[in-house]
Amino acid sequence: MNLISMEGITKTFGRVVANKEIRFQVKHGEIHALLGENGAGKSTLVNMLSGIYTPDSGSIFIRGKAVKLTSPRAALHAGIGMIHQHFKLVEVMTAKENILLGQKSSFFIRDEQLTQKIKEFSHRFQLDVDPNKKVYDMSVGEKQTLEILKVLYRGANILILDEPTAVLTPQETQKLFQIMLKMKEEGCAVIFITHKMNEVLAISDRITVLRKGETVKTVNTGETTTQELAELMVGHPVNLAIKREEATPGKVLLEVKDLIVESEERVKALKGVSFSLAAGEILGVAGVAGSGQKELCEAIAGLYPVKSGEVFFKGENLVGLSPRQIITRGISMSFVPEDRLGMGLVASMDMVDNLILKEYQNQKGLLINRKPAAAKSKNIIQKLEISTPGIHHPIKELSGGNIQKVLLGRELDSNPDLLITAYPVRGLDINVSYKIYELINAEKKKGVAVLFIGEDLDVLLELCDRIMVLCGGEITGILAAKQATKEQLGLLMAGEKNGKREDTELA
Amino acid sequence: MLRMVKRAQMSKTKSTGIRLLAVFLALATAAILIMAMNLNPLEVYGGLFKGAFGSAYRVREVIIKATSLIITSLGIAIAFKMQFWNIGGEGQILMGAFAASCLALNIPDLSRPLLLVLMIIAGMIGGGLWALIPAFFRAQWKTNETIVTLMMNYIALKWVMYLQYGPWKDPLALGFPKIPNFTLNGILPKVLGMHIGWIFAIILVFLVAIFLNHSKKGYEIAVLGESENTALYAGINVKRTIITAIFLSGALCGLTGMIQASALNNTLSIEVSEGIGYTAIITTWLGGLKPVFISLVSVLFAALLQGGSFIQIAFGIPQAAAQLLQGMILFFVLGSEFFIRYKLVVDRPSLGEAKEELEE
Amino acid sequence: MNTTAIVFFLEAAIVSGTPLLFATLGEIITERAGNLNLGVEGMMLMGAVSGFYIGLISQNPGLALLAAMVAGAAGALIYAVLTVSLRANQVVTGLALTIFGGGFSGFMGQRLVGEVAPESIKLAFKPFVVPVLGQIPFVGKIFFQQDFFVYLSYLTAILVGLYLYKTRIGLNLRAVGENPAAADAASISVSLYKYAHILLGGALCGLGGAYLSLVYVPAWQENVTAGRGWIAVALVIFATWNPYKALIGAYLFGGLDIIGFRIQGIGFPVSQYMIDMLPYLVTILVLVVVSLKKSQENSPPKGLGIAYFREER
């Protein structure tokens, strides 16, 4: 008998059909991977298992019994616990308080008793959590462990992990896999959502592939290959190799020297970063999320205050210039944050108004002429195959991928000399991603210097000329991409310089 | 079970329909209140209408009231567009009136056109500078402007009170706390039986509409209102934009102050603001921050106020009833926005649920 | 000024700070649930007029208090329906509530203008000396020779503090305000918590209003709150959402509110209107100072002002 069985599940959001007649089954004691491109409906599907969404139609059976999971409480009652991609933790509270949330127990908080119980639990599942540590002091890995402990403490025996590895170093990922295997050993079922095929092959027992909101196929992990999975995800054969443009780098365009930046709370986000970037070169930046990537991009673009150090662009020091002045020097910076909006785009405005964001100041007079931008909008829509009801539709109503194309379309259209692009393919389909790699390569060929901040090490290795690794605001190494390996990068990302572990400061 | 689902974009006519329905429901709810007072709501509403539009004089009164409301609302709209919650309209009106009065009382012999122009400029500067104080704190340290602008209202009120009861008190008023009237030179002329302010209002509606929708500054204000990060990213000078926008916002409120003092009160007093600064918040919001809609809503609210004072006399309903009704209309319209963005769906029991019930 | 005068002044500062304290505590609870209710002024006015009216016709202090709390909570209920269930903009809804509350009290209170609180109620809320504590030199006179309302406000502040920091429900409440999605995932009913605490907050604001009309004045006058609701909103920031610090803030501002009267009393040559500006000026000053320093622990609840909808995407 199946532990979970979902039959004919359909869910729509407005006009968007996120899940259509989905069929999905999980057995006892298995690690079941849910694979698919962004927008394939993976998150929607598991959110219905965890009681966040309610299906429009279809039924869910757990241990053969039909259930209606109308709230997270109901889901947990059925034994389902979900680890969300964005952790559901209260930052200003301790681990212990987070575990206690929503629990039925005594009216007053019984501190010692609880601490004891948590310790027992973390011992049993080999989860390392300090009950009295505040969440905002925790690393991403610690937070994730806490999330797992939290749902297990509440009695979950079906664990859903939504893209758990996106924020982890390769080493932390290995640790997570150990925990998952331990769960399996303890008889739990684990549903593991990802779009990284190599991880799926490494850890899962079975794989269900979703495409455009529909179930494509469920396969046994031993009987499939990366190529087959990619084809199932995309729907047609794909070429997974990125062609590296061979170009001889020109003269150095960007030179960063001893860059130090401090946050408002006076925490150093970059601790003396130095590197250079030449015309016609792609320099990749690898690192765990929050290692200083954002601050680096913003410091170069003049958005983050520089404490000390220099940023030379074509021989001119950019430090102290306004963002506006830096834009006019021919520098384009685009940062795709996790929510994909936030910086760079104005959600409630239409495409035209978003396209003029960085160039309206070049127009003469007090008024804005939107006609050229309207023509440009149509052009970009065609070039990047953006699907939108029209150029005057608020962009927040477009899908994530299309929003991103608007951003990239605008940035590439500005013909920069230095293109800084952070997570440009975050959440995009394989096809679109490859299209964007092509566009970046084309820029490189034109002699543009590219600073590419990426998540996927495989992509970095294939696309970039050199890869710089950030860890805790420091450069732990700059490697030539052709000779580098993923293992090397992983070690550097974890803070080991020249193969030997640095004492990581916990300040 | 009921469940809410996000709607795809709704047509303009349908959403306008929902808003009108909300106003209607507010009136219907108020009708219950009126019935509780042993009055006939239809008669009262009829009286309200008659009080507002029953005679040429009343219509003119409505337009005069609407004038101040429109100009103030336009000012508030500029601030709201930037998500700067300027609820300091009252204070800015008072300080605009104060600045204009300084001129009218001290140089009354200047030629009328010149004095009036100077008073207008002074009023706008007075209101603008008063608004700049919270704007500066917000730009510099992100100080919560909602409360600061409000506190500034009380300070302005106490200041005018101080003048009225103290140094500016008219010695000829026999101890009555009143500031001397302006001379004719300080009083706005009339056009078609109404003070010239209504022409200002019409011009300003178009100017502000162009400013918000087609000017660079207007665009910057809108971007900044959406996200400060994006504004910085686009190279917008955030502090300067905040300062400019809020100065303009305060200046328009200050202009209202000048008009109120000059054309209606004929001098400075604590009554010049009449609560317009607060009412304008509602009209601005209900008008969706769009100048043309704002002016329509303002006329309706002016009619409500004018009609309100009529039914006070005719039916003995307290003046506060109009304020109560304003609040209710606002509640209903705020609530109606939800039905424009979402729809409620009834969950039909699916096969699975039916089965579960059988088992139990 | 001698010691006796200072003690008298401080005693009066407590009295004048009491309505602020109730309202501030109410708003702290509301904001802890993630809702910024700017309608404090309106709810206080609703409480003030309802408490006074019911007190007047029933002559019963208990009923008067109950009426004030119900009225404050009723105002809060309108706000809660709009912001929690219908996801309306919290700032504008709060402003609407202030306007509505002002209209409500003006409407209800028109016939009450000039009426004085009945003797039975004045008697019930007459100051009395707390045994033992009231005998302590200075402190006893300042804190423990007060009326029932004042003692109730001490108790409320302590209870709210215990509730927030020591109980499980308080912990859940803080989670709702900080991160409703996390609270939801922990199977806390976000809407229920929001409703319950917005209503509770409204009831406390209503009490604050009733203190003004029934005890402080004690007669009906138009717009009896005179902006105190707004000062309470600012005090919440001053107190960094901490009920114990609200005590300090409320008495500080209570003192500022009456200082003009006292200074004139001793013949200091300054206009009453200028001194009347003090509380408002200091409020601005406080807000500016608070905005200068920022930290993880003393910052507003992170979910403040944002509507929560589980299926948002």
Each residue's pLDDT tens digit, A443-459: 888 888 999 998 888 88
Mean pLDDT of chain C: 89
Residue type, B26: A
A368 contacts in chain B (CB < 8 Å): 214-216, 219
Q: Which pLDDT belongs to residue A190?
A: 93
Report which DSSP code applies to A245: P
pLDDT over 80 (residue C220): yes
At A196, is the pLDDT very low, low, confident or very high (cuts 50, 70, 90)? confident
| Chains in contact with chain A (at least 3 beta-carbon pairs closer than 8 A) | B, C
Architecture of domain A241-332+415-436+443-507: 3-Layer(aba) Sandwich (3.40)
B-proximal residues of C, 244-283, CB under 8 Å:
271, 273-274, 276-277, 280-281, 283
Residue type, C181: A
pLDDT over 60 (residue B347): no
B-proximal residues of C, 277-306, CB under 8 Å:
277, 280-281, 283-284, 287-288, 291-292
Of A84, A102, A265, the CB nearest to C183: A102
Q: Which pLDDT belongs to residue B353?
A: 37
At C174, is the pLDDT very low, low, confident or very high (cuts 50, 70, 90)? very high
Compute the distance between CA of residue A316 and CA of residue A254 in angstroms, rounded to an integer.
9
Average pLDDT of span B27-32 = 90
Q: What is the Cβ-side half-sphere exposure of residue A285, based on CA atoms within 13 angstroms?
A: 29
pLDDT over 50 (residue C131): yes
Mean pLDDT of chain B: 88
Q: Choosing among A53, A68, A318, A348, which should be mutated to test the B contact, i.e. which has the most B CBs within 10 A?
A: A68
CB-count exposure of residue C152 (10 Å: 0-12, 13-18, 19+): middle
pLDDT over 90 (residue A502): no
Average pLDDT of span A377-382 = 87
pLDDT over 70 (residue A507): no
Q: State whether residue A303 sits within 8 Å of chain B by CB.
A: yes
Strand, coil or helix: what is A32?
strand
Average pLDDT of span B90-112 = 94
The lowest-confidence range among A92-96, B49-53, B254-258, B340-344 is B340-344
Instruction: Give the max Cα distance, chain B.
Output: 94
Distance linking the first and last C-alpha atoms of chain C: 63
B234 contacts in chain A (CB < 8 Å): 323, 357-358
Quote ipTM for the complex. Answer: 0.89
Report which DSSP code applies to B2: E
CB neighbours of A315 closer than 8 A, spacing ≥ 6?
none
Residues A20-37: tens digit of each pLDDT: 999 999 998 899 999 887
pLDDT over 70 (residue C80): yes
At B355, is the pLDDT very low, low, confident or very high (cuts 50, 70, 90)? very low
Q: Name the residue among B252, B245, B284 with its Cα closest to residue B79.
A: B245
Q: Which pLDDT belongs to residue B350?
A: 41
CB-count exposure of residue B172 (10 Å: 0-12, 13-18, 19+): exposed
- Sheet (strand A65-67) strand order: A16-26, A4-13, A57-62, A65-67
Mean pLDDT of chain A: 84
Out of 3.30.830.10, 3.10.450.50, 1.10.730.10, 3.40.50.300, which CATH number does the structure's domain A4-234 have? 3.40.50.300
Compute the distance between CA of residue A190 and CA of residue A178 in angstroms, rounded to an integer.
12
pLDDT over 70, % of chain A: 94
Report which DSSP code applies to A362: G
Average pLDDT of span B264-279 = 90
At B144, is the pLDDT very low, low, confident or very high (cuts 50, 70, 90)? confident
Asked if A52 and C310 come within 8 Å (Cβ–Cβ), the reply is yes
pLDDT over 70 (residue C296): no
Q: Which pLDDT belongs to residue C28?
A: 97
pLDDT over 60 (residue B89): yes
Q: Which pLDDT belongs to residue A340?
A: 58
B342 contacts in chain C (CB < 8 Å): 87
Q: Which pLDDT belongs to residue A489?
A: 87
Mind listing the domains of chain B with CATH numbers? 1-39+318-345 (no CATH), 40-316 (1.10.3470)
Average pLDDT of span B21-26 = 90
pLDDT over 90 (residue C62): yes
Asked if C277 and B155 come within 8 Å (Cβ–Cβ), the reply is yes
pLDDT over 70, % of chain B: 93
- Class of the C14-312 domain? mainly alpha
The residue of chain C with its CA nearest to that of A135 is C296
Q: What is the Cβ-side half-sphere exposure of residue B77, based on CA atoms within 13 angstroms?
A: 29
At A436, is the pLDDT very low, low, confident or very high (cuts 50, 70, 90)? confident
Q: Which pLDDT belongs to residue B55?
A: 92
Every domain of chain A and the residues it spans: 4-234, 241-332+415-436+443-507, 348-414
Of B8, B233, B355, the CB nearest to A323: B233
A73 contacts in chain C (CB < 8 Å): 187
At B257, is the pLDDT very low, low, confident or very high (cuts 50, 70, 90)? very high
At C17, is the pLDDT very low, low, confident or very high (cuts 50, 70, 90)? very high
C309 contacts in chain B (CB < 8 Å): 4
Residue A379 tokens, joined: 């052009």
Task: Identify how many contiguous H helices and E strands chain A contains and give both numbers.
Answer: 16, 22
Higher pLDDT, B345 or C163: C163
How far is C274 from chain A, CA to nearest CA, in Å? 38
pLDDT over 70 (residue A413): yes
Q: Which pLDDT belongs to residue C294?
A: 65
- E strand or H helix that includes residue A17: strand A16-26
Let me know the angle formed at the C-alpha of B229 by B288 and C28, rounded to the nearest 5 degrees.
70
pLDDT over 60 (residue B134): yes
Task: Identify how many contiguous H helices and E strands chain B contains and give both numbers.
Answer: 14, 4
Higher pLDDT, B351 or C111: C111
Asked if B230 and A54 come within 8 Å (Cβ–Cβ), the reply is no
Of A68, A342, A347, the CB nearest to B352: A68
pLDDT over 60 (residue A499): no
Q: State whether residue C96 sits within 8 Å of chain B by CB.
A: yes
pLDDT over 90 (residue C65): yes
Average pLDDT of span A337-356 = 78
Residues A232-251: tens digit of each pLDDT: 888 877 776 777 777 677 88
Of C167, C174, C187, the CB nearest to A72: C187
